[in-house]
Amino acid sequence: MEQNKKILGYYNYTVVLTYIGMIMGFMGLLFVMSHKFQGAVICLMIAGLCDMFDGAVAATRKRNEHEKKFGIQIDSLSDLICFGILPSIFVAQIENSNYISFAIAICYVLCALIRLAYFNVHEEERQKLESTVRKYYQGLPVTTIALFLPAVYILFKRRYAFTCLLFIMAILFLSPIKIKKPEMLGKVMMAALGVLEFIVLIVRI
């Protein structure tokens, strides 16, 4: 065990994007509480962009066992804030906190929490057995809400549209479906889609 560290945690460049993403998630929550929904959506998208590339950045540095486990934990804790709590509170507020939206928002957070905890357990076990990067996800990653929620915000803005989105996403988070992890080209394409959504949002301000 590491007993001589003066300050807890790890502060090399491999965690910077994760920390920035978490800050964006927190700022998004502040926007939601002020009913500035467009600002919240933009924060969610920036958090998604940070999460998309934090793994690639971390892979550029040789990390010890503790650093790898720390990276897994902070990534999931940040994801819970950005892609679990932020979208659920966003939907509860924008749908005027009606009972159906409120109940589904709670279920959504719970499903995100379960998925992230399940991923942590299995990812730690996988890394003990394999040195290669994960190639498939089991279930839909929680980070995909960073693409879908802005799209619904731009295209629909109708009552219960966001509630339906959370309901579908929550089911897919825990579904035992196998999804290929996007490689760099796929990440660039998703980033390009995110940029397009961002431009539309900015034009509407």
For the stretch 49-80, pLDDT in tens is 999 888 777 777 787 778 888 888 899 999 99
Q: Could you tell me the residue ranges of all domains in the chain?
A: 13-204
- What residues does 178 pair with on adjacent strands? 138
Name the residue type at position 201: L
Q: Both tokens of residue 143?
A: 């980070």
* CA dist., res. 119 & res. 79, Å (int): 12
The answer to whether residues 108 and 89 touch, using CB atoms and an 8 Å cutoff, is no
39-51 tens-digit pLDDT: 999 999 999 999 9
Q: What is the pTM of this model?
A: 0.88
* CA dist., res. 79 & res. 45, Å (int): 12
pLDDT at 4 over 70: no
Which comes out higher in pLDDT, residue 150 or 123? 150
Which 3 state secondary structure label does DSSP give 23?
helix
Q: Both tokens of residue 175?
A: 């579904």
pLDDT for position 81: 97
C-alpha distance from residue 18 to each of 40, 128, 147, 168 (Å) = 18, 23, 18, 26
Give the up-direction half-sphere exposure of residue 184: CA atoms within 13 A in the CB hemisphere.
2
